[in-house]
């Protein structure tokens, strides 16, 4: 590579009890895509937050284009030519694309001029986007384009992207990569955070791998295997889930022609969803976030009621039953949102164990709670699912996302579900724990349970599913055997009947 754009040497940042970054040094060359790899908690976020001026390093220095660089706030970083696309978008649903972009600017031009510029930039980089559309109506991929264009309007020299593909369909990923390649051709550098290794191999020129806050390796992804990179990330050999050959049994859960209106203005309606899962199989449901995943889970958990015949559990209609009655019959669910939905943040793990387990684990007698038994159950979850916490009296919100996820998944799995529905089982969980959760799902089916796994991680779905379907705008695609599917077919299933605006990406 030619010249160095950003050089980082000896960056260290400690928080009470943990060194988030320990003496990290590396360089980003002009016009390269540089990957930052590592498990959750490896220190990637802290590192880019320091570059973007959100966090101040304890020691160490940075230089940008040869000049010392120590941004005190994001505004200073932006002025120096550093832009960042966050994993979670900060957009207002009720406002238009142009209004949203104007909100992030220090001196926004008139909306009409801004709209013209947005159109220009979006055409130049092959990111189709109508500035007048309301953000609430956009898909996740289109929302990300809003954030990218917001950055591009600042004419950045370095673009930081945090897990940009986690919400995209394979086709949208291709569009994004085309845009990024175009940017690097113009000399812009990209710092690319991800833990999707194949993606990094396809896109990135160099990779820096972090583990427990330290830089442990750097490599050229194109010539390094994904397995080697993964092992460097976790610092050891790596357990891939294994599936036992198993026979599928009777139909456990049968959904027939389920339609539900949206619960809120920005919710998704479920439209004529039909599916059947058998004992001993995993049905994977893919799709971009916001296409009815939450709604489907709510309809299955009983938070939203359906016509009685629309849902059948082992042949018995359950559509009108509430969550407790469904749990008693063996239908258990784990929603995506851990804090506030699957668990109550301020309650202890013992109280949270009681949340869904009171009937199946017999934790009450005549309405009185057996706290000792509940605590015992919480301890069982903690030990069987390797939840890292001081103990069952800890408040749920004190746990890291991954640990709480293990707790929530473990809580349902240890209740021996007949049918288990899970949304985003490994979201935010590190690679080793994710493998353990996937293995637990496979083990569950080996014991004869039926599993519906809703996820946005296609690799995960392909790894564990027997059959696959995708949700698009509340409609479920045809269900197909997972092993025979190609990435293109999956992408088309996720795109649904009416495809999103096709990009005219330059060759």
Partner 1 sequence: MPRLERRPQPSARWTWLAPPLAVLVTMVAGGALFAALGENPFEAIRTIFWDPLFGEFAFYYRPQLLVKAAPLILIAIGLSLGFRAGIWNIGAEGQYIIGAITGAGAGLAFYPMEGWFIFPIMIVAGALGGFVWGMIPAILRARFGTNEILVSLMLVYVAEQLLAKMALGLLRNPEGRGFPGSRNLQHYPSAHNAELVANTGIHWGVVAALIAVIFAYVLLTRHLLGYQIKLAGQAPRAARFAGVNPARLVLICLGLSGALAGLAGMFEVAGPAGQITIDFNVGYGFTAIIVAFLGRLHPVGILLAGLLMALTYIGGEAASSTMQLPMAAIQIFQGMLLFFLLAVDVLTNYRVRARKTEVAP
Structural contact between residues 48 and 61, judged by C-beta atoms closer than 8 angstroms: no
Range 260-264, long-range pairs (CB < 8 A, 24+ positions) = 260/295, 260/299, 260/304, 260/306, 262/295, 263/295, 263/298, 263/304
Q: Which of residues 351-390 bind partner 1 (CB under 8 A)?
A: 351, 354-356, 358, 364, 367-369, 371
Cβ atoms of 462 and 482 closer than 8 Å: yes
- Is residue 504 within 8 A of residue 129, CB to CB? The reply is no
Give the shortest CB-164-to-partner 1 separation in angstroms. Answer: 19
Return the residue of 109, 235, 261, 322 that touches partner 1, per CB under 8 A. Answer: 322
Q: Tell whether the torsion through CA atoms of 230, 233, 235 and 238 is positive or negative.
A: negative
Instruction: Select from 201, 327, 438, 475 the one that contacts partner 1 (CB under 8 A).
Output: 327
Determine if 395 is a binding residue for partner 1 (CB under 8 A).
Answer: yes
The whole-angstrom separation of Cα 419 and Cα 367 is 27
Residue 92 lies near partner 1 (rule: CB under 8 A): no
| Comparison of 66 and 340: residue with beta carbon closer to partner 1 | 340
DSSP code at position 124 = H
Per CB under 8 A, which region of 48-56, 102-110, 380-388, 420-428 contacts partner 1? Answer: 48-56
Region of 80-88, 204-212, 250-258, 331-339 interacting with partner 1 (CB under 8 A): 331-339
| 421/500 with CB nearer partner 1 | 421
Cα distance between residue 224 and residue 229, in whole Å: 7
10 is an interface residue for partner 1 by CB under 8 A: no
Rank residues 197 and 300 by Cβ distance to partner 1 and give the closer one. 300
Neighbours of 314 (CB within 10 A): 17
Which residues from 279-308 bind partner 1, rule CB under 8 A?
A: 301-303
Q: Which residue has the tokens 């919100």?
A: 397
Select the span of 81-89, 180-188, 391-399, 436-444 touching partner 1 (CB under 8 A).
391-399
Stretch that binds partner 1, among 49-57, 100-108, 138-146, 431-439 (CB under 8 A): 49-57
Tell me the site size for partner 1, rule CB under 8 A.
42
SS3 86: coil
Assess 323 for contact with partner 1 (CB under 8 A). Answer: yes
Pick the closer one to partner 1 by CB: 144 or 356.
356
Does 344 contact partner 1 by CB under 8 A?
A: yes
23 vs 337, which CB is nearer to partner 1? 337
Structure tokens at 297: 């889970």
Q: How far is the CB of 133 from partner 1 (least distance, A)?
A: 29
Instruction: Give dist(CA 369, CA 236) in Å, integer.
Output: 44
Which residue stretch of 267-275, 283-291, 329-337, 463-471 sits at the interface with partner 1 (rule: CB under 8 A)?
329-337
Contact flag: residue 347 with partner 1 (CB under 8 A): yes
Residue 350 binds partner 1 (CB under 8 A): no
State how far Cα 434 lies from the chain centre: 12
Q: Which of 178, 398, 432, 505 binds partner 1 (CB under 8 A)?
A: 398
Of 3, 9, 56, 362, the residue at the interface with partner 1 (CB under 8 A) is: 56
The binder of partner 1 chosen from 340, 391, 481, 506 (CB under 8 A): 340
* The token pair that represents 137 in the structure block: 């109506």
Are the beta carbons of 95 and 143 closer than 8 angstroms?
no
Q: Which long-range contacts (CB under 8 A, 24 or more apart) does 151-154 make?
A: 151/83, 151/84, 151/85, 152/83, 152/121, 152/125, 152/183, 153/101, 153/105, 153/117, 153/118, 153/121, 154/78, 154/81, 154/83
> Residue 460: helix, strand or coil by DSSP?
helix
What per-residue string of b and e applies to 482-499 under the rule 16 or more CB within 10 Å gives b?
beebeeeebbbbbbbeee
Q: Taking the complex as a whole, how short is the minimal distance between the CB of residue 323 and partner 1, in angstroms?
A: 4
| Binding site residues, partner 1, CB under 8 A | 15-16, 18, 20, 45-46, 49, 55-56, 301-303, 322-325, 327, 333, 335, 337, 340-347, 351, 354-356, 358, 364, 367-369, 371, 394-395, 397-398
């Amino acid at each position: 590579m030619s010249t160095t754009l950003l050089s980082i040497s000896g960056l260290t940042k400690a928080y009470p009890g943990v060194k988030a970054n320990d003496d990290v040094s590396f360089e980003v060359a002009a016009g390269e895509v540089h990957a930052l790899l590592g498990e959750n908690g490896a220190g990637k976020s802290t590192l880019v937050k320091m570059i973007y001026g959100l966090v101040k390093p304890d020691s160490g220095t940075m230089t940008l284009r040869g000049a010392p660089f120590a941004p005190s706030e994001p505004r200073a970083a932006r002025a120096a030519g550093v832009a960042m696309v966050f994993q979670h978008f900060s957009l207002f649903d009720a406002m238009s694309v142009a209004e949203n972009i104007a909100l992030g600017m220090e001196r926004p031009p008139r909306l009409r001029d801004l709209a013209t510029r947005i159109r220009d930039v979006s055409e130049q980089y092959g990111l189709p986007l109508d500035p007048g559309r309301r953000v609430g109506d956009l898909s996740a991929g289109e929302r990300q384009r809003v954030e990218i264009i917001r950055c591009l309007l600042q004419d950045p020299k370095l673009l930081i992207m945090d897990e940009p593909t986690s919400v995209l369909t394979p086709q949208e990923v291709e569009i994004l990569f085309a845009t990024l390649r175009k940017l690097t051709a113009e000399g812009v550098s990209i710092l690319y955070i991800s833990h999707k290794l194949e993606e990094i191999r396809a896109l990135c020129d160099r990779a820096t791998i972090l583990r427990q806050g330290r830089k442990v390796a750097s490599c050229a992804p194109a010539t390094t295997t994904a397995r080697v990179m993964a092992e460097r990330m976790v610092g050891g050999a790596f357990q891939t889930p294994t599936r036992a050959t198993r026979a599928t049994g009777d139909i456990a859960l049968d959904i027939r022609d389920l339609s539900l209106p949206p619960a809120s203005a920005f919710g998704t309606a479920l439209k004529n969803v039909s599916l059947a899962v058998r004992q001993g199989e995993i049905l994977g449901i893919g799709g971009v976030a916001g296409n009815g995943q939450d709604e489907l889970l709510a309809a299955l958990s009983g938070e939203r009621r359906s016509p009685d015949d629309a849902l059948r559990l082992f042949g018995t209609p359950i559509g009108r039953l509430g969550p407790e009655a469904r749990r008693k019959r063996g239908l258990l669910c784990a929603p995506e949102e851990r804090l506030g939905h699957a668990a109550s943040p301020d309650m202890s793990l013992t109280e949270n164990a009681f949340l869904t387990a009171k009937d199946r684990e017999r934790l009450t007698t005549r309405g009185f709670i057996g706290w000792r038994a509940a605590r015992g159950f919480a301890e069982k979850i903690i030990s069987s699912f390797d939840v890292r916490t001081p103990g069952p009296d800890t408040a749920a919100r004190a746990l890291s996302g991954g640990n709480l996820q293990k707790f929530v998944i473990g809580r349902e799995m240890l209740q021996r579900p007949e049918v288990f529905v899970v949304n985003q089982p490994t979201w935010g969980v590190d690679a080793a724990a994710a493998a353990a959760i996937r293995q637990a799902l496979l083990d569950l089916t080996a014991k004869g349970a039926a599993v519906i796994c809703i996820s946005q991680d296609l690799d995960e779905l392909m790894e564990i599913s027997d059959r696959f379907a995708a949700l698009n705008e509340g409609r479920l695609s045809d269900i197909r055997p997972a092993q025979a599917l190609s990435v293109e077919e999956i992408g088309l299933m996720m795109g649904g009947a009416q495809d999103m605006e096709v990009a005219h990406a330059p060759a």
